[in-house]
Amino acid sequence: MTERAIWVIIAIDNQSQLGVVMVNQETIFKRYLRSKGLKFTPERRFILEAVLSLSGHFDVERLYDKLHRKTGEISLATVYRSIPHLIKSGLIKEVMRCQDRPQYEKSFGYPHHDHLVCIGCGKIVEFKDDEIEELQDRVCRKYGFKPTEHRLGIRGYCRNCQGKINGS
């Protein structure tokens, strides 16, 4: 596999001893599948490897194209059926829709961020703004709400597409 983020999990055993366990994405995916009574098939391995080798955001068709060029054996339906398992295992997340397609990104080991999405060309800009994060925290505290996730995606036109729209 191309990219392997490693998480260190610190565990305290029954004698208050600290232990360190190294876990990678393949292990996490295998454990998730096992917990659901599913197998880590060669097709799922190929899909996981392809996801981990992609940079940036992707949709199912881009992932399928990469797999199909490499193996020629995996169907689009298999890729579509695998996406929910990758999401539920915590390895990827759906971040937005771009040009009417769900977009995904790797989430395991990556810090939270938000997105600007150009509806003209599909360009995606990632950003993090501490003021927005603090505002969200304030709103949740005000309403006694415990957040578990949030997504902020602002759709509009990038500088290049604005120029095309304005005839510049």
Q: What is the pLDDT of residues 89-110, one digit of tens each?
A: 999 998 888 777 888 998 887 8
Q: With 90 as the cut, is the pLDDT of residue 17 above it?
A: no
In sign, the C-alpha dihedral spanning 46, 84, 53, 155 is positive
Fold of 27-110: Arc Repressor Mutant, subunit A (1.10.10)
Q: Do domains 27-110 and 111-168 have the same CATH topology?
A: no
Q: How is residue 164 written in tokens? A: 């095309």
Q: Where are the domains of the chain?
A: 27-110, 111-168
Q: With 90 as the cut, is the pLDDT of residue 19 above it?
A: no
pTM of the model: 0.72
Q: With 60 as the cut, is the pLDDT of residue 45 above it?
A: yes
Residue entry with tokens 């993090």: 128
Round to whole Å and give the CA distance between 53 and 50: 5
Identify the residue with better confidence: 26 or 112: 26
- Mean pLDDT (the chain, rounded): 84
Q: Which CATH superfamily is domain 111-168 in?
A: Ferric-uptake regulator, C-terminal dimerisarion domain (3.30.1490.190)
Mean pLDDT for 136-148 is 93
Q: With pLDDT > 70 as the criterion, what percentage of the chain qualifies?
A: 85
Local confidence band at 33 (pLDDT 50, 70, 90 cut-offs): very high
* CA–centroid distance for 149 within its chain: 13
- At residue 99, the 3 state secondary structure works out as coil
Q: Which helix (H) or strand (E) holds 164?
A: helix 159-165
